Amino acid sequence: MPKAIAENADRFIRTQLAPNEELLWGGLPRQGFYLQPFDLVSLILCVPLFGVGLYFLGPPVLLVALPLGLRVLYLQQLRERGYYAVTNQRIIIVRNWGERKMIAFKVQDIGDIELINESNGGGTISFAGGTSLTGWYDPGAAPLLGRFTRSRYRYRFELDHGADKVYEIIKTAKSRTETWKS
């Protein structure tokens, strides 16, 4: 399934490129079950809220506990149906859930970029995002944890492998567009 998603997303992105735009990299998000720090906290809170809260407070506790638990499954589904791309002009996130949605940012507008490497070669590339060219907000790309910690990074590429390579591609594309602006 992921290979088919990647091929379809790659074709879709290529149809969206401007005449002078070049696709530098494209790939899938991290696949499978993966917990982010906030997911772990939400699951730890969800179990007591669901068990004890349901006993003492009744069904209304489901309004709090259930969304916390389901968030992990929702984000996993977003990753399984997603695709990332970097061009010489934009950073692109595509989601194929129901209808295909794309969010794109000008490379020069993304602000600071942060790379968190993992020992297996994977990692997370986070960036502020700037102004979306598509007007679509991606709830899976901006974890709730960022809202509580006032993180300046709203969007991320979560990768199984090659995170350092993709990070360098983004930095190079960003520096080239900043050079052209001056």
Q: What is the pLDDT of residue 172?
A: 94
Residues of the chain predicted below pLDDT 70: 1-6, 34-38, 68, 74-79, 97-98, 129-153, 178-182
3-state secondary structure of 56: helix
Q: Which residue has the tokens 């720090």?
A: 37
Q: What is the pLDDT of residue 88?
A: 94
Tell me the C-alpha distance between 31 and 53, whole Å: 33
User: What's the count of helices (H) and strands (E) in the chain, helices before strands?
Assistant: 5, 7
3-state secondary structure of 153: coil
The structure tokens listed for 103 are 């969010």
123 strand-pairing partners: 117, 159
Q: What is the pLDDT of residue 141?
A: 43
* Structural domains in the chain plus CATH codes: 8-30+84-181 (2.30.29)
Q: Which H or E run contains 49?
A: helix 37-57
Q: What is the pLDDT of residue 173?
A: 93
pLDDT in tens, 102-129: 888 889 888 888 898 988 888 889 887 6
